[in-house]
A and B are shown apart, each in its own frame.
Chain A
Amino acid sequence: MPDLRTETLRVNFGPQHPSTHGVLYLIVDLDGEIIVNVEPVIGYLHRGMEKIFEFRNYSQCIAIMDRSDYMSAFFNEMAFIYPVEELMEVDVPKRGEYLRVIMMELNRIASHLLFYGAYGMDLGAVTPFLYCWREREKVMDLFEIAAGYRLHPNYFRVGGVKEDVTDEFLEGTMQFVKELPTWLEEYETLLSYNEIFNLRTRNVGKMTKEWAINLGVTGPVLRATGIRWDLRKTDPYSAYDDFDFDIPVGTHGDCFDAYRIRVLEMLQSARIIEQALNNLPGGPVRAKTKLNVSPPKGEAYARIESPRGELACYIVSDGTQKPYRAKVRAPSFVNLMAVPPLLKGHLIADAIALFGIFEPVMGEVDR
């Protein structure tokens, strides 16, 4: 029988597809069902944020910066404000720092919850998705009590936070954090102990330490390869020094490890919030600086640990109220770059599992 002629098939995966997170466009070359080459094409959500920053003063930039990674707004604000505070040498009062930590860790829980639901849905498990929205609603309600907004809170300011929180917020947060372990246990029975989920994620995507460091991968995926690196511990910023928490680390470097790390991080975040609430000091919440700051001439680069990895801002200031250049180092941008070398030889279903584990938020990739 003569040899059959085969050739690779080029498939357009996206930009509109229910499994790619947002507007991610992948050009996939397939040989049967095995991937030969993947090329991501990005830029569909490019809003020119960094250019807009050059025409807005720092307080306005905070509101715009919210929209960069829309799933974790507080981290964006912190990433922008932290270098400005370093440049101006502002002393943030203790209560302001603790409130920032509480808000950021609540946001981390909300973001990981969304990952949990969306990842399940990518792989076909539709039930966890609505469970995660139920708990996210509680977090959004807490944000609304504190800041007035649900998704883009615009709550942090240079020198602290905008205003103090009410007792309603503190009680609501304490109750939320106390209930978290019970419902998280229930949700784990849906995915972590699910046979199909295990078959689809265990031993998929051999992520090694060399690959991670060379390609600049950070966040839960880096911890899944076995490197115990979390900026809250290795480079403490804000008030993270005062709290006692662990860093979950993976052993196999596959998708299941990266997924499980995020679930365990939610429990650690709950621990941090509880400690912060129990030891919340009194006092002012914002340092006595103007709202329209003019940092001195100079540059600053500072990084924080967002749910997706290392988020940093490089700010060049020329002494006026508007930044001269504000570059955002987005973790999803760098993580996304790292996926194509990993995918050669995998099935297309594994490609979805791998892209989901990196959880790229396109607002951050494109800015």
Chain B
Amino acid sequence: MNMATSEITLELVDRLVEKFPETVKNKYLDWHTLIVRREDIIELCEMLKSDGEFEFNFLTDLSGVDYLEYMEVVYHLYSYELQHKLCLKVRVKPDDLLIPSVTSLWSTADWHEREAYDLFGIVFEGHPNLKRILCAEDFPGHAFRKDFPLENDEEYLLRDEKTAEDYGISEDLPS
């Protein structure tokens, strides 16, 4: 069995765009991409999972990306039976980060959505257990946003000029 996973055929993509007229078709490399409105995402995914022509039963990856004007959630879908693949994207504005959760369709979205919530602050409606997963529970802010600093720059740049006294440690050796 040497069937390579191929891109989904254009007619199937056109069928989806017909049914959900607000989606935008796109393509990167060999991935057909659909930029979906968040109101349509659950219905579209139900169709993708159950319809015999699509049969997307494997959600590989759900990642958040922070483009500064908007945040994007990217879903990569594969089908074991029909051996094709599709990418979905949902865009949300930074002041309105709410997306319906797809855990009812693919249980594997559980921790992926928790990670997107933890690191970007995107809230998934309908998620059974939406709490932080990688960072500490009381971590201030959302770490992977573009305005969150990589290091505490002030501390890092001044590290050579600070002495032990600044940190409250005494220079004398313990007697």
Contact = CB atoms under 8 A, between A and B. Distances in A.
Is chain B a partner of chain A in the same complex? yes
A333 B60 contact: no
Contacts of B29: 86-87, 298-301
Interface in B1-16: 1-5
Contacts of A366: 134
B20 interface: no
A216 B113 CA distance: 14
B136 A329 contact: no
Contact of B4 (A51, A216, A235): A235
Contact of B108 (A214, A233, A324): A214
Interface in B89-126: 106-108, 110-112
Interface in B50-93: 57-61, 63, 65-66, 74, 76, 80, 83, 87
A86 B106 CA distance: 28
B135 A312 contact: no
B61 A229 contact: no
Contacts of A124: none
A283 interface: no
Main secondary structure of the interface of A (DSSP, over half): mixed
B61 A314 contact: yes
Contacts of B87: 301
Contacts of A298: 28-29
Interface residues of B, number: 36
Interface residues of A, number: 42
A54 B29 CA distance: 22
A216 B80 contact: no
B173 interface: no
A319 interface: no
Contact of A46 (B31, B108, B134): B134
B130 interface: no
Given A51-B144, A87-B29, A334-B108, A312 B4 contact: no
Contacts of B65: 316, 324-325, 327
The B interface, classified by DSSP as helix, strand, loop or mixed, is loop
Contacts of B132: 43
Given A234-B2, A301-B87, A213 B31 contact: no
B1 A228 contact: yes
Nearest to A334: B108
A43 B136 contact: yes
Contacts of A329: 60-61, 63
Nearest to B33: A299
A303 B63 CA distance: 15
A76 to B, nearest CB: 16
B59 A216 contact: yes
Contacts of A336: 111
B63 A46 contact: no
Contact of B150 (A55, A215, A316, A327): A55
B108 A301 contact: no
A56 to B, nearest CB: 10
A52 interface: yes
A50 B144 contact: yes
Interface of B: 1-5, 28-29, 31, 57-61, 63, 65-66, 74, 76, 80, 83, 87, 106-108, 110-112, 132-136, 143-144, 148, 150
7 contacts: A43-B135, A51-B143, A234-B5, A299-B28, A314-B61, A327-B63, A337-B108
